[in-house]
A and B are shown apart, each in its own frame.
Chain A
Amino acid sequence: MKLVVAIIRPEQLGSVLEELYKAEVSGLTISRVQGHGGERDHVETYRGTTVKMGLSEKVRIDIGVSNHFVEPTVTAILRGARTGDVGDGKIFVLPVEKVYRIRTGEEDQSAVTPVQLAGAG
């Protein structure tokens, strides 16, 4: 299992979620974060006070996936998050030691496999 961590532009979140949905990646966690990745600072002025905003708003996505899902997940994020300008973000793929699904106590592979809802639809 791997943990895919992506830092993306907030305005790209919608299209990333769309791509992930198409790739059938369903379980994820997002958080609003601030960060800096070499993009040009933007300058703001409040009356006489001028400030350089060193940190930009970013969104962090955490996705736990089984090994064969890493590739489609990463591809989906790359497709959804890329604008071509500096500041598009990063994707990190991390090894994962153990995963538990809290509801059932399932472990590892079965814990990151989405539940097939019986009789859904």
Chain B
Amino acid sequence: MNQADTAWMLVATALVLLMTPALAFFYGGLVRSKNALNTMMMSFVSLGVVGVVWAIVGYSLAFGPGNAYIGDLSRVFLNGVGLEENGTIPHVLFMTFQGTFAIITAALISGAIVERMRFGAYMLFIALWVIFIYAPLCHWVWGGGWIGQMGALDYAGGTVVHINAGVAALVAALVLGSRKDYARQAILPHNVPFTLLGAGLLWFGWFGFNAGSALGASPAAGLAFAATFLAPMGTVVVWALLDLMRNGKATAVGLATAIVVGLVAITPAAGFVGPMSALALGAIAAVPSYYALVWRARTRLDDSLDVVAAHGLGGAVGALLTGVFAQESWNGSVNGLLFGNPGQLGIQAVAILAAIAFSGIGTFVLLKLVGVFVPLRVESTEEGQGMDVSQHGEEAYAAAEGAILVLPEREIVRPSPAMATQGGRA
């Protein structure tokens, strides 16, 4: 047991947990005001639903010994997850740290189905998704499964988190169909400052995500930290230049998106590449995601908040570039294409394709299954009214005018018409 490692992992875990509320702000700002709460709730509810599922069975399936494809049920209800060492930190802390990853991964998917998915169906879907998609894929990469054994590099979750969520988002957007106003009316972000706030907080939390994935207060954590610092900076600059070339104006929503794309791309590479490689990786990753966003908006695919372009494509580009920029002199174990090991790129590609296939097919089956029990979409009139009122009975920006207080006492002692007449006030 190492106390410095434990101290850093305590902080890192809290940082990653903050990313889910940050995502709520990032997504919440991008939707229309009538759907702001619902969109933010889709992230916030993941803190509850996925956290509970993780403790009950998710952790065991992901990190139980099991075989090359799935963990086992030996850690169900956190059985045997105690104060003993896991690496150099308490096992129970390791479980918590990994739980925060499951929570944000599920929440990421919501960006593709905002403004139309029934909230109950969403809760059921993410609960099942963490058990049947996230946990096995996590096991393949980090829990001793076949992708990890094959030597694929995924420092903090390029495949497990971002490609996984991105592909699930693509499938979810296709299964649910587009919003009724999509491509008919302009649907604009209602609060761009929220989106910038969310992007900033995501970056802050991501230091825990990437540098925490060193699982200790080590030099590798410092390297991952520097990569997390530099990569989005490269992305932001390239993105702003692309914006300037295309429209003559650098946009705020674009810059917020660039931060996320840079963070996504560096995630698999963080502890494997040198700092200048991280900067280059972030800069390169801006290009495919930028053009994917522009292209997507012209299609019928209503991936409303561009989860596929930012996370799916950004994650895939990052995972491939990890195989290009990995450098033994920094990570002490493996080189990439640029440093004389072209084979690594092939291994990365296999890991990416496996994640795409598994997540894509699995998510499709789960959504169809959930759809058998609960309708996935709200009624068209509810969609028009807005999800905040129809799903939550609340408004993000309620005007109190005309609101009539309902007092429970008054209902209990409601006078009958006869009594009211006797009182002389009928």
By a beta-carbon cutoff of 8 Å, the part of chain A in contact with chain B is 9, 11-12, 14-15, 34, 36, 41-46, 49-55, 83, 85
Known: A44-B398, A45-B394. A51 touches B381 (CB 8 A): no
Interfacial chain B residues near A49, Cβ < 8 Å: 405
Interface string of B384-417 (1 = CB under 8 A from A): 1110010001110011011111101000000000
Is B185 among interface residues, defined by CB-CB distance under 8 A?
yes
A14 to B187, CA, bound (A): 10
Interfacial chain A residues near B186, Cβ < 8 Å: 14
Known: A51-B406, A52-B404. A43 touches B393 (CB 8 A): yes
What are 15 A-B pairs with beta-carbon distances under 8 A?
A14-B181, A14-B186, A15-B184, A36-B402, A43-B393, A43-B406, A44-B389, A44-B393, A49-B405, A51-B404, A51-B405, A52-B406, A55-B399, A55-B401, A83-B381
Q: Closest B residue to A45 by CB, please name it.
A: B393
In the complex, the answer to whether A9 meets B384 with C-beta atoms within 8 Å is: yes
Given pairs A11-B181, A11-B386, A42-B393, 17 additional interface contacts (CB within 8 A): A11-B385, A14-B185, A34-B399, A42-B389, A44-B393, A44-B395, A45-B393, A45-B394, A46-B394, A50-B406, A50-B408, A51-B405, A52-B406, A53-B402, A53-B404, A54-B403, A85-B381
In the complex, the answer to whether B181 meets A34 with C-beta atoms within 8 Å is: no
Interfacial chain A residues near B401, Cβ < 8 Å: 34, 55
A51 to B389, CA, bound (A): 12
Q: Closest A residue to B187 by CB, please name it.
A: A14
Q: How many A-B contacts are there with CB distance less than 8 Å?
A: 55
In the complex, the answer to whether B184 meets A14 with C-beta atoms within 8 Å is: yes
Taking CB atoms and an 8 Å cut-off, the chain B residues in 357-384 that contact chain A are 381, 384
By a beta-carbon cutoff of 8 Å, the part of chain B in contact with chain A is 181, 184-186, 381, 384-386, 389, 393-395, 398-399, 401-406, 408
What distance in Å separates the Cβ of B385 from its nearest Cβ neighbour in chain A? Answer: 7
Interfacial chain B residues near A42, Cβ < 8 Å: 389, 393
Q: Closest B residue to A32 by CB, please name it.
A: B399
A100 to B386, CA, bound (A): 39
Name the residue among A34, A36, A45, A51 with the largest chain B CB count within 10 angstroms. Answer: A51
What distance in Å separates the Cβ of A57 from its nearest Cβ neighbour in chain B? Answer: 8
Q: Closest A residue to B406 by CB, please name it.
A: A50
A46 to B186, CA, bound (A): 31
Interfacial chain A residues near B408, Cβ < 8 Å: 50
A44 to B385, CA, bound (A): 14
A54 to B398, CA, bound (A): 12
Q: Closest B residue to A50 by CB, please name it.
A: B406
What distance in Å separates the Cβ of B387 from its nearest Cβ neighbour in chain A? Answer: 12
What distance in Å separates the Cβ of B400 from its nearest Cβ neighbour in chain A? Answer: 8
Interfacial chain B residues near A85, Cβ < 8 Å: 381
A43 to B381, CA, bound (A): 16
A15 to B181, CA, bound (A): 10
What distance in Å separates the Cβ of B189 from its nearest Cβ neighbour in chain A? Answer: 17
Interfacial chain A residues near B184, Cβ < 8 Å: 14-15
In the complex, the answer to whether A53 meets B403 with C-beta atoms within 8 Å is: yes
Known: A9-B384, A14-B184. A34 touches B402 (CB 8 A): yes
Q: Closest B residue to A12 by CB, please name it.
A: B384
What distance in Å separates the Cβ of A2 from its nearest Cβ neighbour in chain B? Answer: 28
Name the residue among B186, B381, B384, B403 with the largest chain A CB count within 10 angstroms. Answer: B403
Name the residue among B384, B386, B408 with the largest chain A CB count within 10 angstroms. Answer: B384
What distance in Å separates the Cβ of B148 from its nearest Cβ neighbour in chain A? Answer: 46
